[in-house]
Amino acid sequence: DVKVTQSSRYLVKRTGEKVFLECVQDMDHENMFWYRQDPGLGLRLIYFSYDVKMKEKGDIPEGYSVSREKKERFSLILESASTNQTSMYLCASSFGTFYEQYFGPGTRLTVT
Amino acid sequence: RKEVEQDPGPFNVPEGATVAFNCTYSNSASQSFFWYRQDCRKEPKLLMSVYSSGNEDGRFTAQLNRASQYISLLIRDSKLSDSATYLCAVNEKGGGADGLTFGKGTHLIIQP
């Protein structure tokens, strides 16, 4: 079974803090993704990566950056957290472009 | 980014009934299609891929209609445990590792 893990299930941070969310997959998948999910807005792609050290912007990259130093690990960074970044953050991985994605359990981030 | 549309529901269905819902997509070049199930405050989990010829997994049947650009999910003999939000997902681009485009989900409630 594919396993995608995320570093925290719940996180509370203050406005202006730098926040790191980490994701690890154990299936040697090439592609990794970060989404956020908000009520009424659905899942929105923040960034994705198709190889180590490679990254591409998704639909809503503003205020975020990512890092992929190892194939199995994909980190999402909120440089200066703001209240509008309060959300559920979901990491996913897939074998390749047309393949299904597998999600981690999510991190529910609250920025106060 | 192209649109993937779903009826948000909720669909209230008695236990044992058959329920079907559709998902329309706007990009005729879309290559791969999936149905995910998401329980409240959990991550989306892959339910099934959707193949051109249609596919069945137990009580679940998925179909693709390329001419009309929609995919469908049919659930027979519905169970209380089928209550969830069902997300369709479409990979719209070829050649890149772009993430899936998700619909906002259809909320299904199975009533005893």
Both tokens of residue B19? Answer: 């329920």
The stretch A19-27 carries a mean pLDDT of 97
Residue type, A2: V
> Residues 6 or more apart from A84 whose CB is under 8 A from it?
none
Q: What is the distance between the terminal CA atoms of chain A, rounded to a whole angstrom?
A: 37
Return the number of CB contacts < 8 Å for A and B. 61
Gap between the Cα atoms of A107 and A88, Å rounded: 6
SS3 assignment, position B81 = helix
The partner residue sitting opposite A48, judged by closest CB among B89, B97, B102, is: B97
Both tokens of residue B42? Answer: 């959990």
Q: Which residues lie across from B40 on neighbouring strands? A: none
| Positions in chain B short of pLDDT 50 | 95
**d(CA A81, nearest CA chain B) in Å:** 22
Q: How many residues does chain A have?
A: 112
Q: Which pLDDT score is estimated for B97? A: 56
The average confidence (pLDDT) of chain A is 94
Phi, psi of A85, deg, nearest 5: -100, 5
Q: Which pLDDT score is estimated for B96? A: 52
What does the pLDDT look like over A69-109, one tens digit per residue? Answer: 999 999 999 999 999 999 999 999 998 877 899 999 999 99
Q: Which pLDDT score is estimated for B105? A: 95
Q: Which pLDDT score is estimated for A89? A: 98
* A96–B49 C-beta distance less than 8 A: no
* B46–A40 C-beta distance less than 8 A: no
How much of chain A exceeds pLDDT 90, in percent?
88
